[in-house]
Amino acid sequence: MTAGGEEPAVREVVIVGAGGMGRAWMDVVEARPGLRASAVVDLDLSAARSAAAERGWDVPVFTDAAEALRDAPADLLLNVTVPEAHRVVSEAALRAGVPVLSEKPVTPSVADAMRLAALSEACGVLLATSQSRRHSPGISAFRDAVRSLGGAGQLEAQFFQNPRFGGFRDVMPSPLLIDMAIHQFDQARFLLGSEPESVYCEEFSPPWSWYRGAAAAQAIFRFSDGARFGYAGSWCADGLTTSWNGSWRASAPGGSATWDGEGAVQVEGPGETAQDLPVGGGSEGLDAALTEFLTALDGGDPPSGEIRRNIRSLAMVEAAVESAASGVRVELDAVFARAGAAALAEARASGEMQIADRLSAWAGGPPR
Ligand SMILES: NC(=O)c1ccc[n+]([C@@H]2O[C@H](COP(=O)([O-])OP(=O)(O)OC[C@H]3O[C@@H](n4cnc5c(N)ncnc54)[C@H](O)[C@@H]3O)[C@@H](O)[C@H]2O)c1
């Protein structure tokens, strides 16, 4: 906002994280009228420098987001660091009064996300996650098809891929559940339009896996409207891979619908012949997530990734990991209760009463 209260003609963007995804975001910023990069930040200064130079940007580079926010103009911050750095970077921006669009997962833990949700509310500054895979013409067409059949009672996603990333995913615990499955879990919430309540999950390491952590999982979620969502995934599945959006099937009162994550949506009712439904065009992925975010900054609806809404996708991940470790079904309410207590204890211990007051009212998770 300018001093007069109008929206700025050009919004200055601080981009934190100049790895693979940070560079993808830089291209999105560059292509968007009304946005201008004002600084690039990375612990690895040479990565920040080369990313800026490749785009011909004459902007300062920093190793620390808080320092960049002190020295460079900022109307919004893109947090594209590794998950472990998300909390500290987003927190620095919120405290500086700068809205944040963060890559998923908004933080690695629900406790940290609850803390950030409370801080965002206390500061009155927007924090949203980009869940790029809920934004595509294909998933919207599939959701419309499922709705037209009366809503899914049973939803299945298969995700089988075989990337050789190197880097943090190869050495982290539960790489599939923590770094990837959040996409399909969030897509399931988008498709079902109700909220997850519990999960039973097993994760494991196929003998041929090249990851240190478990790279395969199967999970069954129960949603508040009684729907079941089944997930089967692997990140070490060579051959016959699914699309990166996953391969989907919904069973509904009026029939069934499928979507392979890339092409047509198919529907078939009782006694009918299966038909392909057209998938329209339109903005998707990062670009669509950015549009939602900017719309909110312009006074429009909150984005679908606003942290208090997005936190339920993160809670699905945490509950699945907990179920896999304990061997029992996990209720999401229990995840929120424990995470909220941990976040509250931290806020009280550090005398952050504005955060503590909110957290003490959020036993079942933050309000949506
Ligand atoms: N939406 C998607 O489809 C998608 C795809 C890939 C990655 N991601 C997400 O994007 C994020 C980044 O992933 P990536 O593949 O670009 O990782 P990456 O490892 O390639 O890049 C991350 C960068 O962050 C920097 N960094 C780490 N801590 C920092 C800090 N405190 N301050 C400044 N810089 C810091 C690192 O030096 C590195 O250059 C992750 O959260 C990941 O889950 C999303």
Is the entire prediction scored with pTM above 0.85? yes
| Cβ neighbours for 119, distance < 8 A, ≥ 6 positions apart | 91, 94, 95, 127, 355
**Interval between CA 70 and ligand 1 midpoint (Å):** 22
**Cβ–ligand 1 contact at 43 (below 6 Å):** yes
pLDDT beyond 60 at 78: yes
Pocket test for ligand 1, best of 23, 62, 80, 243 (most atoms within 8 A of CB): 80
Q: Is the CB of 44 under 6 A from ligand 1?
A: yes
Residue 366 has a pLDDT of 77
Q: What is the pLDDT of residues 151-207, one digit of tens each?
A: 999 999 999 999 998 988 999 999 999 999 999 999 999 999 999 999 999 999 999
Q: Is 42 in the pocket of ligand 1 (CB under 6 A)?
A: yes
Domain boundaries of the chain, sorted by first residue: 11-132+285-307+333-360, 137-277
When the pLDDT of each residue in the chain is averaged and rounded to a whole number, the result is 95
pLDDT at 3 exceeding the cut of 70:
no
Confidence of residue 8 (pLDDT cuts 50, 70, 90): low
Q: Give the residue-averaged pLDDT of 257-284.
A: 92
Over residues 99-152, the pLDDT tens digits come to: 999 999 999 999 999 999 999 999 999 999 999 899 999 999 999 999 999 999
- Contacts within 8 Å (CB) and 24+ apart, 142-146: 142/191, 142/248, 142/250, 142/257, 142/259, 142/265, 143/190, 143/191, 143/193, 145/250, 145/257, 145/259, 145/265, 145/267, 145/277, 146/191, 146/250, 146/252, 146/257
* Ligand 1 atom index nearest CA of 89: 31
Identify whether the C-beta of residue 340 lies closer than 8 Å to the C-beta of residue 219: no
Architecture of domain 11-132+285-307+333-360: 3-Layer(aba) Sandwich (3.40)
Whole-Å CA distances, 266 to 30, 142, 257, 346: 36, 8, 5, 49
Ligand 1 near 286 CB (within 6 A):
no
Give pLDDT, residue 329.
98
Q: How confident is the model at residue 4 (pLDDT cuts 50, 70, 90)?
A: low
Beta pairing class for 255-259 and 247-252: antiparallel
Please indicate whether residue 89, judged by its CB atom, sits closer than 6 Å to ligand 1. Answer: yes
For the residues 269-285, what does the mean pLDDT come to?
A: 90
What is the share, in percent, of the chain residues with pLDDT greater than 70? 98
At 367, is the pLDDT very low, low, confident or very high (cuts 50, 70, 90)?
confident
In angstroms, what is the span from residue 5 Cα to ligand 1's centroid? Answer: 34
Residues 6+ apart with CB under 8 A from 21: 80, 103
Q: How far is the CA of 76 from the centre of ligand 1 (A)?
A: 18
CA 166–ligand 1 middle distance (angstroms): 13
Tell me: the pLDDT tens digits for 14-39? 999 999 999 999 999 999 999 999 99
Residue with CA at minimum distance from ligand 1 atom 21:
19
CATH superfamily of 137-277: Dihydrodipicolinate Reductase; domain 2 (3.30.360.10)
Q: Are strands 76-79 and 61-62 parallel, antiparallel or unpaired?
A: unpaired
